[in-house]
């Protein structure tokens, strides 16, 4: 007998997930115009009001590389302010449950996070990143992998002393834009390395949209077999070929419960142009067209999760409203379909009903709810030969 219960077919698939938002960091880093501090604060606040509990606020790296985040201190300070805490209390949001993260690729940025923590405005969690492709890692960090692992180990010790959690990012899991194919086994080993030196959790990242659903399921099944703690693993998927939603479903099948996205599917490689001036970024873009890259859209991800019947904690309609606002902020059509087409209307759309059906049913002498001629059997009976065989 065929099993029709989805959760019996995929027993690891969760009934509840945690979805983080990284719009005002990863989303904005790819924009070639400066997004105002006020806009960053607005979207950060509003996504929390909509139900987000894990949010990336900024990048604490050099403003020479990513000048989009020259306002990092100001943005972080806002989310530590009494005014914001008061708003959370008014909306019955437990401020102590919120996790504010910042990217700190190198040790100098980690030191900056620790200093900000001492001032009372630092992040709860920081991220450092390794790539399984040494060339991609060098392009991002300027070090060999061995050098970086030693640096990360030092930084984790510093962060633990300062009361900051360290998230270890593993990138190029499903392929590298520089060197091509990579091995999933290397990413599993790198995950173990992160935990061996004290990382709190791991972001498993597809930074260029290389992942396919089958390989995502295979990889996360390997991860959950080796390190079966759903809270320890976060799925980070980029969207370059419109297949990331299939990969999310595959990750759910494997038992992953933590995901993240951006409003409008914003994000990608740090911009190498800002306003009217070229900037360093991370060099030339890897993509044929840099406009059509970014993360899976938060709006579409939430609609998908919601319609699967999985608990997520968001006000989906408020997120769709935010997605519409984001298009005005950015000044172009973004990549969410849900902000235009909305959620599936379970109650239908009565405003589009055509008049006259009830009268026609009465005229034909049919009963309400009758779907086939009254002389037909109550249940269809398949003939011995049917479909293509009957036409041969």
pLDDT tens digits in sequence order for the chain, 392 residues long = 899 999 999 999 999 999 999 999 999 999 999 999 999 999 999 999 999 999 999 999 999 889 999 999 999 999 999 999 999 999 999 999 999 999 999 999 999 999 999 999 999 999 999 999 999 999 889 999 999 999 999 999 999 999 999 999 999 999 998 899 999 999 999 999 999 999 999 999 998 888 999 999 999 999 999 999 999 999 999 998 889 999 999 999 999 999 999 999 999 889 999 999 999 888 888 777 777 889 999 999 999 999 999 999 999 999 999 999 999 999 999 999 999 998 888 888 899 999 999 999 999 999 989 999 999 999 999 999 999 999 99
For residues 71 and 274, the answer to whether their CB atoms sit within 8 Å is: no
Q: How many CB atoms lie within 10 A of CB 132?
A: 24
pTM for this one?
0.94
The tokens for 284 are 């030339």
For residues 255 and 12, the answer to whether their CB atoms sit within 8 Å is: yes
For residues 77 and 124, the answer to whether their CB atoms sit within 8 Å is: no
Transcribe 185-209 into DSSP letters: HHHHHHHHHHHHTT-SEEEEEESSS
Helix (H) or strand (E) holding 2: none
Query: Which CATH number applies to 6-341?
Result: 3.20.20.70
Please enumerate in sequence order all residues whose Cβ is within 8 A of that of 289, keeping only pairs 6 or more positions apart, or say none: none
The tokens for 165 are 């959690």
Cα dihedral across residues 10, 12, 15, 18: positive or negative = negative
| R_g (Cα) of the chain, nearest Å | 24
**In the prediction, which pLDDT does 282 show?**
82
For residues 111 and 59, the answer to whether their CB atoms sit within 8 Å is: no
Helix (H) or strand (E) holding 128: strand 125-131
CA distance 11 to 254: 9
**In the prediction, which pLDDT does 285 show?**
86
**Number of DSSP helices (H) and strands (E) in the chain, helices first:** 16, 10
CA distance 83 to 78: 8
Query: In 60-117, where do the E strands start and end?
Result: 99-103
Residue spans of the domains in the chain: they are 6-341
CA distance 217 to 182: 16
For residues 59 and 30, the answer to whether their CB atoms sit within 8 Å is: no
For residues 191 and 156, the answer to whether their CB atoms sit within 8 Å is: no
Q: What is the pLDDT of residues 46-68, one digit of tens each?
A: 999 999 999 999 999 999 889 99
């Amino acid at each position: 007998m065929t099993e029709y219960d989805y959760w019996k077919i995929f027993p690891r698939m969760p009934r509840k997930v945690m979805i983080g938002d990284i719009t005002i960091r990863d989303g904005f880093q790819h924009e070639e115009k400066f997004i105002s501090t006020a806009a960053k604060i607005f979207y950060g606040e509003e996504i929390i009001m909509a139900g987000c509990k894990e949010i990336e606020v900024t990048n604490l790296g050099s403003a020479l590389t990513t000048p989009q985040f020259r306002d990092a201190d100001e943005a972080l300070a806002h989310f530590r302010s009494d005014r914001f805490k008061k708003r959370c209390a008014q909306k019955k949001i437990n401020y102590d449950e919120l996790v504010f993260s910042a990217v700190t690729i190198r040790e100098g940025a980690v030191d900056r996070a620790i200093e900000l923590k001492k001032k009372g405005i630092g992040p709860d969690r920081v991220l450092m990143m390794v790539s399984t492709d040494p060339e991609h890692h060098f392009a991002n960090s300027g070090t060999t992998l061995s050098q970086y692992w030693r640096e990360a180990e030092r930084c984790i010790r510093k962060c633990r002393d300062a009361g900051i959690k360290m998230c270890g990012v593993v990138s190029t899991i499903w392929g590298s834009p520089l060197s091509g194919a990579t091995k999933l086994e290397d990413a599993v080993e790198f995950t173990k390395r992160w935990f061996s030196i004290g990382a709190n959790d791991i972001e498993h990242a597809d930074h260029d949209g290389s992942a396919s659903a089958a390989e995502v399921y295979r990889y996360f099944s390997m991860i959950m077999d080796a390190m079966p703690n759903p809270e320890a693993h976060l799925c980070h998927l980029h969207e370059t070929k419109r297949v990331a939603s299939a990969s999310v479903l595959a990750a759910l099948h494997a038992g992953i419960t933590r995901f993240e996205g951006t409003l409008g599917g914003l994000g990608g490689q740090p911009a190498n142009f800002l306003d009217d001036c070229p900037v360093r970024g991370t060099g030339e873009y890897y993509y044929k067209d840099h406009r059509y890259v970014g993360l899976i859209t938060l709006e579409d991800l939430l609609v998908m999760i919601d319609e699967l019947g999985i608990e997520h904690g968001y006000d989906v309609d408020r997120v769709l409203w935010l997605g519409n606002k984001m298009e005005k902020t950015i000044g172009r059509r973004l990549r969410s379909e849900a902000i235009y087409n909305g959620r599936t209307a379970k109650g239908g759309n009565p405003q589009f009903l055509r008049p006259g059906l009830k009268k026609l049913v009465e005229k034909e002498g049919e009963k309400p709810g009758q779907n086939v001629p009254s002389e037909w059997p109550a249940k269809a009976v398949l003939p011995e030969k049917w479909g293509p065989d009957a036409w041969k």
